[in-house]
Amino acid sequence: MAAIIRRDGARSFVLFTVGGMGLALPLDSVLEILRPPALVPIPLGPPSLEGLARRHGAVLPVIGLRRILGLDGAGAREGGTDDGDTKAARLLILRHNGQPVGLLVDRVSGLSAVDEGRIADSGATPDPSIDADLLAGAILASDGRDGALILDPGPLIERQFADLGRIGSPAGAADFSAPAQLKSNAAAPQDEEQLVVLTVAEQEFALPVAAVREVVPVPEAVTRVPRARAHLLGMMTLRDALLPLVGLRELFGLDAEKDRGGRGKVAVLRTAEGLVGVVVEDVREILRVPRERIDPVPPLMAREAEFEDMDGIARLDGGARLIPVLSAERLFRHGAGDGAGSAAGFGGGAQGREGEAAVAMEAERAEAFVVFRLASAEYGLPVGAVQEVLRVPDAVTPLPNAPDFVSGVTTLRGAVLPLVALRRLLRLPEGQGGAGDRSRVVVIAAGASRAGLLVDGMTGIVHIPDGAIGPAPVVSQAQNRLIRRIGALESAGERRMILLMDPAELLDMDQLADLLAAV
């Protein structure tokens, strides 16, 4: 039993309830008490883990006391409580080994200064539903005041996260911002073009990855500009800077009746006059296309002004799939006579050149990630480690005696590619929140290894400032090997936490199998 320090014959406690049970924590062990914020799930953690939260710029794990005590229902906000409205749930912020930890409870009853005479050893009021090792004592009922069991925060958290605050990044960790080496010879990338495939009005277009700074969701609120042309949709805020938005559907005069499929995405392009956001329906794939399969625009079309924004046409699937490759620099000349030039009609000149310089400076202080969805969370991989993002192949060949997270193998341009079911690898539930046609294969490479990761869908390409990237809380050994960092972004009131994965660890199949055997 942990010692209870008493000052002046009394001690202050935070009193709360879980499942109708009265509990307490010493007040000096509680940093804050707040309403439960939105939580981001993180895989490979203990059963008590509810997810991750952000507080004062720090990312902290949140554990549910209901889960720890084995009570019915999950967290206090799921499935109700025994104490009434779920709005009464509170998050107690504690500190363990220098790391903040959130403890989710049903209801906080209040703060109380308890006389020394009412504090007893936990054995004085035994409760078989709680392990005695988790208790520091008990507050005895007296004069109409209810009693409570006093939890010992050290053992309580230690039992959930034995490695929390003890494991740092391994020495000699890889530099994930550096481009990964391909399995084939180093000259191969020079003969290929990496393209981002976008969809607009059910048609496909492509842009070079080098021209796309990032891809983000269309915000709920877009500020309209008076007397602007139809394709000039307005402005949004991207990390405290204004971003003009151009609708590719409207710019190209495509069918307005086609389904837009939700809010859509913004492809942020680098131009000579600064950043411009191009609004599209979706980002479908990232492809590596051999240059000989990108044909020039046919001469009959090339001499027409309407096609000057095209660099070529990519021939895929034996010519059955043709994708126009757009030029980011010439794209906004399309309809320049209607005011589409000069940074899409929002102004340019010296101001645009200043914006371009600011973008270059910001790029030096940020890392680019390919971001994808898995279950209800976002994950990221360094752009340099991602070769391409593909549709899921129709045919997958099972691999005998492979680890359970290896779905099988397929061929990609004549080479065998193992497919890793990331849901299985991360011990996430199968078939919940699946994306169907939006599922993708993220092809990663490091050194001589290559693999395809099966994910629910692609979010886009995101530049995360260095200051927004921090270490991930260590909830397990396996998680610490695969997810070491977290990118925390906030823009226009929207908060995002992106779990940043280590591509080198994902490619070591034997080590993964050994690591996950204990999970």
- Using an 8 Å Cβ cutoff, are 95 and 81 in contact? no
Query: CA-CA distance, 462 to 35, in Å (whole number)?
Result: 30
Please choose, from the candidates 107, 105, 108, 110, the residue with its C-alpha nearest in 3D space to the C-alpha of residue 62.
105
Which pLDDT score is estimated for 49? 93
Q: Are 387 and 443 in contact (CB under 8 A)?
A: yes
Beta sheet of 99-105, edge-to-edge order: 30-34, 90-96, 99-105, 58-64, 49-55
- Alpha-carbon span 218 to 261, nearest angstrom: 12
What's residue 339's pLDDT? 45
Q: 351: which residues sit within 8 A by CB, 6+ positions away?
A: 274
Produce one character per residue of 183-210: b if its CB has 16 or more CB atoms within 10 Å, e if not: eeeeeeeeebbbbbbbbbbebbbbbbbe
Specify the DSSP element, H or E, that contains 369.
Answer: strand 366-374
DSSP letter for 124, please: G
pLDDT for position 117: 84
Report residue 14 CA to chain centroid gap: 34
Tokens coding 378: 């976002």
Using DSSP, how many helices (H) and how many strands (E) does the chain show? 10, 33
Query: What's the whole-model pTM score?
Result: 0.80
Position 378 scores a pLDDT of 96
Strands (E), 308-365: 310-316, 321-326
Q: What residues contact 487, with CB distance under 8 A and at least 6 apart? A: 369, 380, 462, 464, 468, 469, 496, 497, 498, 500
Phi first, then psi, for residue 181 (nearest 5°) are -85, 140
The pLDDT, as a whole number, for residue 309 is 87
d(Cα 236, Cα 348) in Å, to the nearest integer? Answer: 17
pLDDT in tens, the chain (519 residues): 344 444 556 788 999 999 889 999 999 899 999 999 999 999 999 999 999 998 877 899 999 999 998 886 655 444 444 444 567 899 999 988 888 999 999 999 888 888 888 888 876 666 777 888 899 999 988 877 788 999 999 999 988 886 655 554 443 333 333 444 433 333 345 688 889 999 998 899 999 988 998 888 888 888 888 877 888 899 998 877 889 999 999 888 887 666 666 678 999 998 887 899 999 998 888 888 899 999 998 888 888 877 888 899 999 888 889 999 999 888 877 554 444 444 445 544 444 444 444 544 555 588 999 999 998 899 999 999 999 999 999 889 998 888 889 999 999 888 899 999 999 999 998 864 445 678 999 999 877 788 999 999 998 899 999 999 999 998 888 898 899 999 998 865 678 899 999 998 898 877 777 766 666
Query: What is the pLDDT at residue 92?
Result: 94
**pLDDT, tens digit (0-9, with 9 covering 90-100), for 264-286:** 899 999 888 789 999 999 888 88
pLDDT for position 444 = 94
The set of residues, in sequence order, having a beta carbon less than 8 Å from that of 206 and lying 6+ positions away, is 195, 196, 197, 198, 287, 314, 323, 324, 325, 326
Asked whether 327 and 310 are in contact (CB, 8 A), the reply is yes
Query: What are phi and psi for residue 144, nearest 5 degrees?
Result: 80, 0
